[in-house]
Amino acid sequence: MNWGKSIAIVYLGFVGFMGFLVWNCLQQDDIHLVSKDYYQKELDYQENIDKMNNTNQLSSDLKLNYQTDKQLISLDFPKESLGANGEVNFYRPSDARKDFAVKLNILQSEQQTIPVNKLERGLWVVKVSWNKEGKGYYKEEKIKL
């Protein structure tokens, strides 16, 4: 076999391999972004930093406890948060289709419980944001179910 045929075989093999990779990439159907409006969220990140600073100035910290035996997440808010409302976002880094949010109403009790018995095992990021009298607060914590 001469040099010309060897170079042609290597080149055609490379082109065929690249074609296979492109075809394989086009067959994937579970490609999704972390968030549909990720660019706007990135621009608004300073607002989250301000909310985290507000949270750090509270008399006590928000305590997030995962009770494995009861399959519950309990949130213990500081006393200053009584009368606030907010939201808890459960973010699944490996699959955005499993993300969901739960509304909070901290009117009578500083403690909120959320059942997590139907959640898939693995890593979850719990993002808690609440507002009281126009002032926002935010805390984020990772849990492994």
pLDDT tens for each residue of 73-116: 999 999 888 889 899 999 988 887 888 999 988 888 888 899 98
> 33 pLDDT band (50/70/90 cuts)?
low
Residue 124 neighbours by CB under 8 Å, 6+ apart: 90, 91, 92, 142, 143, 144, 145
> 34 pLDDT band (50/70/90 cuts)?
low
Whole-angstrom Cα distance, residue 48 to residue 136? 9
